[in-house]
Amino acid sequence: MDRYCRNVTFSGIGEEGQRRIEESSVAVVGLGALGGTIATHLVRAGVGTLTVCEHDTIDVHNIQRQLLYTEPDVGRPKLHTAVEALGKMNSSVKIRAYDEFLDSNNAERILGGADLVVDGTDRMGPRYVMNAFSVAHGVPYIYGGVLGGYGMTLSIVPPATPCLACVFPPSERMDHLPTCADVGIVNTVPAIIGSMQATEALKVIVGGPHSKDLIIYDVWEQTFDKVPVKKRPGCPVCGSG
Ligand SMILES: [Zn+2]
């Protein structure tokens, strides 16, 4: 417990909360800027098992914001570099690593057994896959997304909360949203949003007061919005279809 004394001393976590963290199994999908930040915080906080999945290699322009990687890592697979770095942060965390991109064919195999799924991806396709897994199995899913100077997060805790498809209904447009490659990204944004997602994850694990709103934080304009969200009765994932 000495290692986690700062967690335990915080009244919102305590000894019971820390025990829950250490017994938890969390999946982080994607190990870029968001996923690297999320995984870093969860490993340092002492989760029992961390499942990670990523199939990309490290590009020099990733280093601007992807905090797990440094210059000598360029050209290496993100997964292996990240697992090595995470293992040095906390050797007591069991890491399950999958050198794959998440899709509907491998989701059950990769995410199965997780108590919680956290989104470190940058596309709607895998997000809808995580959301469908979350609703089907009653496993909380922490959505996050970043673009330009802002980012968003939403804590989905089925069946109590709306799901991702309630808030962002799948459509042709969702498949063609602008990306960081199109409009750029302020490098502090994913570190902030990823930290907020990791915080929401810890709250869900310990039974704390997780957010019920879609949180939108624009670091450039310095605006912070909490947008109330509602279930859609006709949602194809969590509703009547
Ligand atoms: Zn829904």
Is the four-CA dihedral 192, 106, 207, 46 of positive or negative sign? negative
Q: Name the β-bridge partners of 156.
A: 141
**Residue given tokens 């805790």 in the structure block:** 157
Distance 131 CA to ligand 1 centre (A): 9
Residue that has been written with the tokens 């209904």 in this structure = 169
pLDDT in tens, 141-173: 999 999 999 999 999 999 999 999 999 999 988
Ligand 1 geometric centre to CA of 176 (Å): 21
Q: How many angstroms separate the alpha carbon of residue 28 from the centre of ligand 1? A: 21
Other CB atoms within a 10 A radius of the CB of residue 176 amount to: 9
CA distance 206 to 123: 29
- Report how far ligand 1's centroid is from the alpha carbon of 194 (Å): 23
pLDDT at 54 over 90: yes
Domain 2-228 has CATH 3.40.50.720: yes
Run of H or E including 5: helix 5-9
Q: Token pair for residue 199?
A: 């915080």
pLDDT band for 196, please (50, 70, 90 cuts): very high
Q: How far apart are CA 236 and CA 241, in angstroms?
A: 4
Beta-bridged to residue 155, according to DSSP, are: 142
33-45 and 188-206 helices cross at what angle (nearest 10)? Answer: 40
Taking the domains of the chain in order of start, what are their residue ranges? 2-228
* CA 163 / ligand 1 centre spacing (Å): 4
Cβ proximity of 29 and 118 under 8 Å: yes
85-127: per-residue pLDDT in tens? 999 999 999 999 999 999 999 999 999 999 999 999 999 999 9
CA of 102 to the centre of ligand 1 (A): 20
What's the gap in Å between 21 CA and the centre of ligand 1? 28
